[in-house]
Amino acid sequence: MKTNDLILQTATKIVLFIIVLFSIYIFFAGHYTPGGGFVGGLLTAGAIILLLLAFDMKTVAKILPINYMTMTAVGLLFAIGTAAGALLFNVPFLTHAFGDVHLPILGEMALHTATIFDLGVFLVVVGVTMTIIQTIGGDE
């Protein structure tokens, strides 16, 4: 028996966009205020879980053809690479580098290796959370 989840599916399309935008904001605001890769990753995973609730796993797999274990591995490489990269420059572990650069359209920006570290944490959180959810919710 197929249920009619038209209201849930329509609301999910709108709410998903808002959650992902807020997740991106939290990710980038996390360097100077509370938030960052972990919280942004949880919000993104929550948005994907909302998709799974509104649609079935096969539909979501067509929309997002992502291997979450690979995402976790890439995130670990980013996080460990930026954390251990400091050792190459003979500074303590987890020491981050930063600098100001001028980008043509965006203007003056501060670039930090902490952002790459947070991206690694973000990818690990989304990857692990979605792997767990798909493992628990899988019919196979």
pTM: 0.87
Is 105 buried (19+), middle (13-18) or exposed (0-12) by CB count in 10 A? Answer: exposed
Using the predicted structure, report yes or no on whether residue 85 has a pLDDT greater than 60.
yes
**46-66: pLDDT as tens digits:** 999 999 999 888 888 899 999
DSSP E strands in the chain: the ranges are 98-103, 107-112
Using the predicted structure, report yes or no on whether residue 74 has a pLDDT greater than 50.
yes
**30-41: pLDDT as tens digits:** 877 777 899 999
Structural domain boundaries in the chain = 6-138
Using the predicted structure, report yes or no on whether residue 1 has a pLDDT greater than 50.
no
